[in-house]
Amino acid sequence: MSDILLDVVHVGKRYTTYASNLQRFANWFGAGIKPSAEFWAVSDISFQVRRGESVALIGQNGAGKSSLLKLITGTVRPSTGSVAVAGSISAILELGLGFNPEFTGRGNAFHAGGLMGISQAELAALMPQIESFTEIGEFFDQPFRVYSSGMQARLAFALATARRPDLLIVDEVLSVGDSYFQHKSFDRIRKFRDQGTSIVIVSHAMGDVRALADRVILLDKGKVLKDGAPDEVVDFYNALVAAKENSKLTIEQRRDQAGWLYTKSGTGEVTAENVGLFDAETDEPVSTAIVGQALVLKLKARVHQEVPQLIFGCMIRDRTGHVIWGTNTWHTGQTIAALKPGATANIETRFVCSLGPGSYSITPALTKNSSHLDQNYEWQDNLVVFDVVNVSEHYFIGTTAIKAGINIEYHE
């Protein structure tokens, strides 16, 4: 059996516009009339997904993500190329897709489940599990038209995952659900992945992408812009979003020997110098910190061109890329205004290392406003990398050293 579950080969989807419906109708019978306009939703996309692999598709609105999913599921036929799936497939694409507004949740589960190729007998056996997973109570036997978007998402997900498919495709539909159901849904997705199901997911939540994906594909204007490791593609995407707001912004990426990805982006009006992590008491450089140690991040910002204001921000992430903590001087009320060329600003961020044992990185940023999307002077992902060890606290697990105590009252 081949290791390749999904094979997308030079796939493209073209939508055409004609001067009149008559011309479109005539073309159905081979008239050969050229369209007045055409639009390629996706163009010449090729990639493979192996069995058990999780792939995330990311990109801005209009990049072609949802169109590509429809081509993979067969909802839409490609104009060019081919899609081959070597196994069962289950997809959650749009709220209400395949559901009848007048049917109850139970009726829709039987109806839409049948369209998915599940027999009525099997659906009857699965129905208690589907009803239980939705947790919508009496609404399960009420018309679908009275459902909220969150309830629709619950029913769609419960049905799509009632049995484990070889390939599970999930669009942004889960983003409309409440936090509890999102956690519950992603827990089921993780279990499917651990059991060998391949996952293709579209999400704007980069935390979910980092947590679920083995690989990330960045789409832009219907084409594959980057395909690689989650940290590499996600950091590049974040920089790319800012770059689209400013044509002067440049992006640089490299990976160090320890595997940390360094991504630098910015327009360069203000840059960072002498960035380092130090012991707050001895001022000695720190590469390995101790739980509870007082630390200070030092940075000198140098102004090369006149700028109206400067915001400094920093972010601490763990080895998997999840943000542990972050803030900036916009939120702390320490904005520096009207900076002249040649000026410098020494910035120190003092904090106690309340982190669990492991490896962490610090990302400093110099921007015009609270978001790097407005004006990003310089952003450096994972510029400072350090380890944390526990030598004085009781053993604990996790990324946060919470000050906690356990009280025991024993009676005989």
Classified as helix, coil or strand, 410 is: coil
Per-residue model confidence as pLDDT tens digits over 180-209:
888 888 888 889 988 989 999 988 888 888
Total number of domains constituting the chain: 2
Residue 171 maps to a domain: yes
Classified as helix, coil or strand, 252 is: strand
Q: Check whether residue 217 and residue 268 sit in a common domain.
A: no
The CATH number of the domain holding residue 347 is 2.70.50.60
Return the higher-pLDDT residue of 247 and 133.
133
Torsion, Cα 355 360 364 365, to 10 degrees, reads: -100
> How far out from the chain centre does Cα 69 lie?
16
Return the higher-pLDDT residue of 405 and 355.
355
Residue 95 predicted with pLDDT over 70: no
The CATH number of the domain holding residue 182 is 3.40.50.300
Q: Are 169 and 8 in contact (CB under 8 A)?
A: no
Q: Check whether residue 211 and residue 82 sit in a common domain.
A: yes
Q: How far apart are CA 360 and CA 382, in angstroms?
A: 8
Quickly state the pLDDT bin for 177 (edges 50, 70, 90). Answer: low
Which two structure tokens, joined as six digits, stand for 294? 């007082």
Q: How far apart are CA 220 and CA 217, in angstroms?
A: 10
Per-residue model confidence as pLDDT tens digits over 20-51:
777 776 777 766 777 777 888 999 999 999 99
- Across residues 224-229, what is the average pLDDT? 92
Classified as helix, coil or strand, 353 is: coil
Residue 244 maps to a domain: no
Quickly state the pLDDT bin for 215 (edges 50, 70, 90). Answer: very high
Residue 168 maps to a domain: yes
pLDDT, residue 287, reads 94
* Look-up of token digits 């049995």: 163
How does DSSP classify residue 36? S
Cβ neighbours for 380, distance < 8 A, ≥ 6 positions apart: 262, 263, 264, 272, 275, 363, 364, 365
Q: Are 367 and 374 in contact (CB under 8 A)?
A: yes
Q: How far apart are CA 245 and CA 265, in angstroms?
A: 13
Q: What is the mean pLDDT of the chain?
A: 88
Task: For residue 222, give Cα distances in angstroms to 57, 79, 196, 217, 335.
Answer: 12, 13, 29, 12, 40
Burial environment of residue 137 by CB neighbours within 10 A (0 to 12, 13 to 18, 19 or more):
exposed
Residue 58 maps to a domain: yes
pLDDT, residue 25, reads 67
Which two structure tokens, joined as six digits, stand for 229? 């490791």
Q: Check whether residue 204 and residue 323 sit in a common domain.
A: no
- Across residues 237-263, what is the average pLDDT? 80
* Owning domain of residue 184: 51-231
